[in-house]
Amino acid sequence: MSSAVLTAVLVALGCALAGLMVPRVLALLPEPAPDPDEDPEQVAREGLKPLYTDLAAAPGLAVRCAAVAGLAGAVVGGALGATWALLVVVPVVPAGVLLAYVDLRTRLLPTRVVRPVHVTVVVLAGVLALVQQDARPLLRGLVAMAVVGAFFFVLWFVRSTGMGYGDVRLSALLGFVLGHLGWGEVVVGTYAAFVVFGLPGLLLAVVRRDRALLRTPFPFGPAMLVGALVGIVWGGALWSHLVGGGA
């Protein structure tokens, strides 16, 4: 078994085990306060948002989260190989599964999940910088975090109805993780997030011939997480190809 395959298997197993804990962690989260700015028509159309405890009690949730986390972990492990960068990326995988599930059901991204993971990966990146005596990945991650976070903040500020502030927080986290890997990962991952977000809705509107679907609010968090995965896998290669002029 090659080193890359072994790494992918080990990371997949670790992420799958962490994914099994998603329902338990979700059940422990404090329920979100009612949003005073929520559109009454939207509430009447879609109903009240489910409670976290109800989401956590969904049948088979642990197995499904473990499967998704394991698959994502295998992709990350296979893409990065046996490198120390895994310490910065892997903690986001099971947390991302939880966030994607909650966002799909409630269009919320719990700060109680995003913030601890963000702090954890920054601290781990700092430790790596000290151990390896190379602060460039850490500094690049911090710059990317600021740039990507500011970009999403502007989008949220200009049109808050289409994006929640939780998306801004998540963008800063993903910006740091991708920036720690490289600028190609940042650019490709961020761009891919918008493609993943927009393409399914556009295709659905075309198939159903209903333009109103283009105005339907969809959660952005899952698209950001999938986009980040795309950036991790192909960002470096695509960036090198573009910067190198296809050489």
Please write the tens of the pLDDT for every residue from 4-55. 899 999 999 999 999 999 999 999 999 987 765 555 555 444 557 899 999 9
User: How far is it, in rounded angstroms, from Cα 61 to Cα 196?
Assistant: 24
Give the chain's domain count.
1
Report whether 115 contacts 169 (CB < 8 A). Answer: yes
Instruction: Give me the domain span that covers residue 60.
Output: 3-243
Is 72 exposed, middle or buried (CB count within 10 Å of its CB: 0-12, 13-18, 19+)?
buried
Question: pTM for the full model?
Answer: 0.90
Please say if the pLDDT value at position 242 is more than 90.
no
Instruction: State pLDDT tens for residues 115-134.
Output: 999 999 999 999 999 999 99
Q: How many CB atoms lie within 10 A of CB 215?
A: 9
Measured CA distances, 87 to 73, 164, 176, 203 (Å): 12, 28, 13, 37
Instruction: State pLDDT tens for residues 203-213.
Output: 665 666 656 55
Q: What percent of the chain has pLDDT over 70?
A: 84
